[in-house]
Amino acid sequence: MRLSVLNQVPIGQDSTPEEALNQAVELVKITEDLGYTRYWVAEHHNTNGLASSSPEILMTRLAGATSSIQIGSGGVLLPQYAPLKVAENFRMLEAMYPERIDLGLGRSPGGSNETRLALTDHIKKSMSSFPRQLEELYGCLYISREHS
């Protein structure tokens, strides 16, 4: 059986975001030492008590602190971003940490309506675009690489 961890990076009472992020680094080291397969971090915006608004940045720190465990996003909220930018971020991570990066995607709106609009620069994006975005992301990750 393979074991994995999904960490939302909670900020404990009387704690700081910096302490929560440092605890996430310590936890990934422990899970790697115990032989876990994957360590994923969630994406949450404008949420009190969670320090996980940018999985890509946190994944860089986690992968740098470990040597073999898979590091992933659980998941990047694709409806809030351009598929090309997501592909570029994860291709960069994969180049820095070959065969250790997992891209998990979510279709959640990312929080309240106000938060969602702030993430999309006040452009109302339809959640029904998710299938098209998945196809575009796939093309950016794989098809464009084949033609490079």
**CATH architecture for the domain at 4-146:** Alpha-Beta Barrel (3.20)
pLDDT value for 91: 96
At residue 129, φ and ψ (nearest 5 deg) are -80, -5
Decide if pLDDT at 32 tops 90. yes
pLDDT at site 127:
75
pLDDT, residue 80, reads 87
Q: What is the mean pLDDT of the chain?
A: 91
30-44: average pLDDT: 97
Q: Is the pLDDT of residue 36 over 90?
A: yes
146 or 43: whose pLDDT is higher? 43
Digit-coded pLDDT (tens) for 68-80: 999 999 889 998 8
Domain residue limits, the chain: 4-146
- The region that residue 140 occupies, defined by phi over 0 for left and psi between -120 and 50 for alpha, beta otherwise, is alpha
Q: What is the pLDDT of residues 92-137, one digit of tens each?
A: 999 999 999 999 998 876 677 787 777 777 777 777 889 999 999 9
Per DSSP, helices labelled H in 10-148 are 17-33, 55-64, 83-96, 113-119, 130-138, 144-146
pLDDT tier, 29 (very low <50, low <70, confident <90, very high otherwise): very high
Q: Is the Cβ–Cβ distance between 97 and 72 less than 8 Å?
A: no
Is the whole model's pTM more than 0.75, yes or no?
yes
b/e 14-33 (16+ beta carbons within 10 angstroms → b): eeeeeebbebbeeebbebbe
Sign (positive/negative) of CA torsion 81, 86, 87, 89? positive
